[in-house]
Amino acid sequence: VPALVQRLEDSDGVVRRAAVKVLGKLELAALAQYAPNLVQRLEHSEGYVRQAAVEALGKLEPATLAQHVPALVQRLEDSDGVVRRAAVKVLGKLELAALAQYAPNLVQRLEHSEGYVRQAAVEALGKLEPATLAQHVPALVQR
């Protein structure tokens, strides 16, 4: 695995993306160990590397994933719509309490210009408990 982690710094973006994807296939304990390396890739200049990093982080157990939510929330504003959609989908995998905490961020995505981002936001919000979802009805109705 250390050699694979070194490929995260490869000069070729395709190799970096491949390394991120392979890391995402590790057993959960190993994946959790390398999650900080994946979080670093969320700032990568190439969208397909950021997308792969978001998707790999999405494979973490919800409790471990929760540690990296602030970095994922930043990807909701990513310049690449595919990365934004991936971030919304991963946030939808959070445990209900954490998902409820970030529901306002998801509600904002309902205004997104790209339909697949709006769809992912609707699907994530649909996982909320009815009482929690009801708290966001005014914002949902406006959108």
For the chain, list the domains and their CATH numbers. 2-142 (1.25.10.10)
More confident of the two residues 86 and 139: 86
Residues in CB range of 82: below 8 A, 6 or more apart:
47, 48, 51
Q: What is the mean pLDDT of residues 31-43?
A: 96
pLDDT-derived band of residue 137, with 50, 70 and 90 as boundaries? confident
Residue 142 has pLDDT above 90, yes or no: no
Task: Report pLDDT for 79.
Answer: 94
The pLDDT assigned to 1 comes to 84
What is the per-residue pLDDT across 106-127, written as a single tens digit (0 to 9) for each?
999 998 999 999 999 999 999 9
**Which of 111, 117, 110, 113 is closest to 90 using CA atoms?**
117
pLDDT value of position 143: 64
C-alpha 100/C-alpha 124 separation (Å) is 10
Structural contact between residues 104 and 140, judged by C-beta atoms closer than 8 angstroms? no
Q: What is the pLDDT of residues 50-103, one digit of tens each?
A: 999 999 999 999 889 999 999 999 999 999 999 999 999 999 999 999 999 999
| Confidence (pLDDT) at 14 | 94
